[in-house]
Amino acid sequence: MTTHPTIEQHPDLAEMRARFEQATTTPRAQAVEALALLTGVYLAASPWIAGFSGLTALAVTNLILGIAYAACMGGFGSAYERTHAMAWCAVAIGAFTIVAPWVVSGNVDTTRTVWNNVIVGAVAVLLGAAMAATGDRRAGSARSRGGRRSRTP
């Protein structure tokens, strides 16, 4: 009787986990994660900070988007390999934040709400893309190094 190893015992999986762990321990990744978490908290609280909490539809939208963004980006420190793909979800949340003043019901596209959401949304998109690129760049460089070493004339 033969036993087949599980996917958890695959040598590539251990190497991938080590690479993702290394990616999250860099000062750049830690700074991006901290800034992203602060961005999510600000987005959630922005209606009360910037003074448009009276526009209930946008205030609730920003609250939900901010909590979702902080949850997406805040999980990287503890489980990077499982949450790395969520960085692209954070990019989508940032993009929706930018257009929210025009797509949320009601007349909420005031100067204050537009400036707030466009700036916070752009920061959210950039931080999400930076976090998504962190693992991709390391994976690509490891593949290219491995590819050059394995080539023989």
With H, G, I as helix, E, B as strand and everything else as coil, classify residue 126.
Answer: helix
pLDDT digits (tens, 9 = 90+) for 103-134: 998 888 889 999 999 999 999 999 999 888 87
First to last CA, the chain: 42
- Tell me how far apart the alpha carbons of residues 85 and 46 are, in angstroms, rounded to a whole number: 26
pLDDT digits (tens, 9 = 90+) for 50-83: 998 889 999 999 999 999 999 888 765 555 555 5
CB count, 10 Å around CB of 43?
Answer: 29
- Tell me how far apart the alpha carbons of residues 141 and 151 are, in angstroms, rounded to a whole number: 16
Position 42, amino acid = Y
| 8 Å CB contact between 35 and 126 | no
